[in-house]
Amino acid sequence: MKKKLVAILLVAAMVLSLVACGKDNGTSEPGKPSSGESNDAGKKYTFHGYLSSGVITSFSPTDWQTNSESTLMGPCMSGLYSFNYNPDAEYEYDLVPEMAAAMPEDVTTQYAGQYGIPADATEGYAWKVALRQDLKWDDGTPITSKDYAYTVEQFLSPDMKNYRADSYTGNVGELYNAKAFFEGTFGAAVPRGKTWADVVKGADGKYTIDGHQAFLAWNMPTTLVSGDSYVIKDYAVEYGMAQETADWLDGLMDARGAVELTDEVIEKFFAWTSSDDWGNEPEEDLIGYIAYDDPALACTFDQVGYLTPDEYTIVQILVNPCIGFYLYYGGLHDELVKPDLYEANKKQVGALIKSSYGTSVDTFASYGPYKMDEYQEGKYVHYTRNENWFGYTDGNHEGMYQTTDIEYQVVEEQSTRLSLFLQGKLDDVDLVSDNIPDYGLSEYTYYTPESYNAEFAWNTNFDMLKSRETENVCKTIFTYIEWRQAFALSLDRQDYCKSCTSGYEPSYGIISDYYIHDPDHLAKYRATPQAQATLCEVYGADSVDELSGYDLAEAKRLLQVAYDKCYADGNIDDDDMVVVEFHIKSAEAENQRAVDFCTNSMLKAAEGTSLEGRIKFELIADPDYYNNAKQGACDFIRENWGGAALNPYTMMGCYCTDKSNEFGFDYNKHTATITVNGETLTKTMIEWYNALLSGEFANADADTRLTILSGMEKALLLYYHIVPVASWTTAAMRSQRINFGADHFVNVLMGWVNTLDHLTYTMDDAEWEAYCASQNNQLTY
């Protein structure tokens, strides 16, 4: 099965994970391992799992968005290469070919001087992969290099604008000309060297550039005269545009996010850009917001760096060289969609063409060890073996894949999940803090460190906060950095983890303790001198061993400073309460505890200050609170960022790009000053991010990149709009009939070796059902 979905994911609650169990060779009693026998003919071994959400839009590789959607795809996918558990290897894993017939060959010198590769380049740009010649779809149709090329073309189709296109247009796996093909015939005027004088109004009233229709790039990336890149819609209302004008432009834009340029559009838009709110820009600067259609700009797919010299060979050409671990951890693309099915399910949707591939059993195909055979939207999914999968007969997977069937049922309530687990109807269940007193010490409970970090995030936009104040309620105090720093110092993180989580550990940095910066040696980012120095400087500690992040006296002092400034500015009165609307997914008890914890922490800090007894956090149940936070509709949220645990550099994209939730923090304007190799440089946060991921420092030495990464982290922490509080440690129980591949947590890459490839069972389905019945379907854990 596919071992990795590299995209960083934002999650609102605990996601399904198979966590931790040991293997104690011996008997086949419940809770003990099997004798090691592989699948017996006629016996069924069904893994019973659950999805925490039934909201599924698509489980297509080109369009999936949520964890539940990626979970549905996983059993039906195989990668070109796999990180496979090997207890005898130095780091307990081997990198082995799966869909590929052999390890990739670096053919950079063969293509040097072409496809954007420097003429003197010798390695890292071009990679040739030989495919196995026995690959098949679940219906027996052969899989060839043409299937892979077709898939890449669909990901990048300018007519489709698929959600996952960015996996090909950015980061380590960016293909040559992928961006140009994805953009189609649409180009920004400034990068083409145009001025406002080139925008010409015709007799028909239409504006053109070189005879091609011109548009306001309202909801699409464009480069301003200043050189900065913006999606201007994201900032307009925040910086003074009337909501009525923004809504009017929204109503005019097409599916690309472009608005046809007219006299009225120019007049209303220029009234804003020339205002004090945006910066009194002259009319000629309007060119920075203009895009236009020009067929000459079109890039065809045969110009993209993805070649198929024959039926079983792929050559992938990258914008930036990539060698070693990261080539396999995101550098080589291996997703597939079945061409005939994908094409058959295409239809026009507005100005775009979309495919409903991956929305039902009939519109989805497998090229992995299992195939989907039943799907009830919002309720239930079932899989059986894909007998056309090469791995069952190639001799390289002996003793693996004992599971014959998989089922996922949608179970949104934790109490229901636990009840089903205790009846033997689920094979694993995540635990929450309420469950720890009863099951925290069970021999079937395992704790797994995760890359996800729990953080509190503030809205710092004065106008938006002011607009939501009510009588005798102040919110604009959140814009004072002293308030946010006081909050950070009021938190006893140890206490928070004990009282509000299922075993999380205190976190002080934006990047959790479980990120690896050097995957070849599984070396942790947080253990580097740069990362440790950042935390010590932020929290005023001599060493990381002294970190607590808790300083009640300083929190009191800062709260008084914040109040005095806010009062002097006329933003708070003597009788105003400070009410923080804490948006979170639901009002369940665990979330209420987090809200109460924040209230109590700040009330304690406020004792003896002008804010004594005047602070309150209110829980607002909001299933869409991430999106609402992006729009400035929340005061405060708890967010969780993680994923891609072996590439901490990508984590900055969660805070320095449009992925961020912190309304009021402008990553295009907020700067960080970092000394790099003796030179002190100041850049905006997004400029640092781009330089680190795909620009001047993308291929710098490790010390340089760590210096930049830690410097960016420091700048974000010192603004206190993000306050780290805990790193995830997932507590879960596994069924008494389940064994995982290792008897210990191996490492961040392999976990507990608990994926379906290494999962084994002490009893088949019939034996397990009989055993549960003998226990009156109430198992003891």
Asked if residue 352 lies in contact with residue 161, where contact means CB atoms within 8 angstroms, the answer is yes
Domain membership of residue 403 (yes or no) is no
On the question of pLDDT at 30 being above 50, the answer is: no
pLDDT tens digit string along 667-691?
A: 989 999 999 999 999 999 999 999 9
Q: Are residues 664 and 523 in the same domain?
A: yes
Q: And the tokens for 434? A: 């309420």
* Average pLDDT, integer, range 319-340: 92
Q: And the tokens for 73? A: 């795809």
Q: Are residues 641 and 513 in the same domain?
A: yes
Mean pLDDT across the chain: 91
Task: Give me the number of domains the chain comprises.
Answer: 3
End residue of a domain, out of 391, 414, 431: 391
Q: Which residue has the higher pLDDT, 239 or 638?
A: 638
Interhelix angle for 481-490 vs 589-606, to 10°? Answer: 110
Name the residue type at position 590.
E
On the question of pLDDT at 51 being above 80, the answer is: yes
On the question of pLDDT at 343 being above 90, the answer is: yes
Q: For residue 256, name the pLDDT band (cuts at 50, 70, 90).
A: confident
Closest CA to 383 of 360, 363, 407: 407
On the question of pLDDT at 12 being above 70, the answer is: no
Q: Are residues 92 and 228 in the same domain?
A: no
On the question of pLDDT at 13 being above 80, the answer is: no
Residue range of the domain that includes 212: 187-297
Q: What is the pLDDT of residue 189?
A: 84
Asked if residue 82 lies in contact with residue 103, where contact means CB atoms within 8 angstroms, the answer is no
Domain membership of residue 762 (yes or no) is no
pLDDT tens digit string along 179-189?
A: 889 988 887 88
Domain membership of residue 671 (yes or no) is yes
Q: What is the pLDDT of residue 455?
A: 97
Asked if residue 513 lies in contact with residue 727, where contact means CB atoms within 8 angstroms, the answer is yes
Q: What CA–CA distance (Å, rounded) separates 478 from 484? A: 7
Q: What is the pLDDT of residue 5?
A: 29
Q: What CA–CA distance (Å, rounded) separates 420 from 428? A: 10
Q: Are residues 604 and 496 in the same domain?
A: yes
Alpha helical stretches, state H, 462-551: 462-467, 481-490, 493-500, 529-539
User: Cα 758 from chain centroid?
Assistant: 26
On the question of pLDDT at 35 being above 50, the answer is: no
Q: Are residues 266 and 332 in the same domain?
A: no
Q: Are residues 620 and 496 in the same domain?
A: yes
Q: Are residues 328 and 342 in the same domain?
A: yes
For residue 298, what are the contacts with CB-CB under 8 A and spacing of at least 6? 184, 185
pLDDT tens digit string along 371-392?
A: 999 999 999 999 999 999 999 9
Domain membership of residue 438 (yes or no) is no
Q: For residue 146, name the pLDDT band (cuts at 50, 70, 90).
A: very high
Q: What is the pLDDT of residue 8?
A: 32
Q: Any idea what the CATH number is for the domain that residue 458 is in?
A: 3.10.105.10
Name the residue type at position 264.
E
End residue of a domain, out of 271, 297, 323: 297
Asked which of 215-224, 260-269, 478-487 is least confident by mean pLDDT, the reply is: 215-224
Q: What CA–CA distance (Å, rounded) separates 317 from 332? A: 10
At 701, is the secondary structure helix, strand, or coil?
coil
pTM of the model: 0.74
Q: Are residues 521 and 648 in the same domain?
A: yes
Q: And the tokens for 261? A: 């340029």
Closest CA to 284 of 348, 199, 175: 199
Q: Are residues 592 and 723 in the same domain?
A: yes
Q: And the tokens for 132? A: 């196995």
For residue 517, what are the contacts with CB-CB under 8 A and spacing of at least 6? 523, 524, 525, 528, 648, 649, 702, 706, 709
Domain membership of residue 356 (yes or no) is yes
Strands 380-385 and 370-376: antiparallel
Q: What CA–CA distance (Å, rounded) separates 263 from 448? A: 60
On the question of pLDDT at 651 being above 80, the answer is: yes
Q: Where are the beta strands (DSSP E) in 603-703?
A: 615-621, 636-642, 671-676, 679-684
Q: What CA–CA distance (Å, rounded) separates 725 from 488? A: 9
At 635, is the secondary structure helix, strand, or coil?
coil
Q: What CA–CA distance (Å, rounded) separates 401 from 45? A: 10
On the question of pLDDT at 410 being above 50, the answer is: yes
Q: What CA–CA distance (Å, rounded) separates 271 from 290? A: 16
pLDDT tens digit string along 268-303?
A: 999 999 998 898 899 999 999 999 988 887 899 999
HSE toward the beta carbon, residue 752, CA cutoff 13 A: 25
pLDDT tens digit string along 544-579?
A: 999 999 999 999 999 999 999 999 999 999 999 999
Q: What is the pLDDT of residue 225?
A: 65
pLDDT tens digit string along 508-539?
A: 999 999 999 998 899 999 999 999 999 999 99
Domain membership of residue 663 (yes or no) is yes
Q: Which residue has the higher pLDDT, 451 or 38?
A: 451
Name the residue type at position 351.
A
On the question of pLDDT at 769 being above 50, the answer is: yes
Q: What CA–CA distance (Å, rounded) separates 239 from 291? A: 22
Q: Are residues 459 and 524 in the same domain?
A: yes
On the question of pLDDT at 470 being above 70, the answer is: yes
On the question of pLDDT at 315 being above 50, the answer is: yes
State percent of the chain over pLDDT 90: 78
Q: What CA–CA distance (Å, rounded) separates 443 from 448? A: 14
Q: Are residues 130 and 193 in the same domain?
A: no
Q: Are residues 215 and 311 in the same domain?
A: no
Domain membership of residue 742 (yes or no) is no
Domain membership of residue 32 (yes or no) is no
* Average pLDDT, integer, range 330-355: 94
Closest CA to 374 of 366, 386, 362: 362
Identify the DSSP state of 195: -
* Average pLDDT, integer, range 461-477: 96
| Residue found under tokens 């073996």 | 385
| Residue found under tokens 């608005």 | 259
On the question of pLDDT at 723 being above 90, the answer is: yes
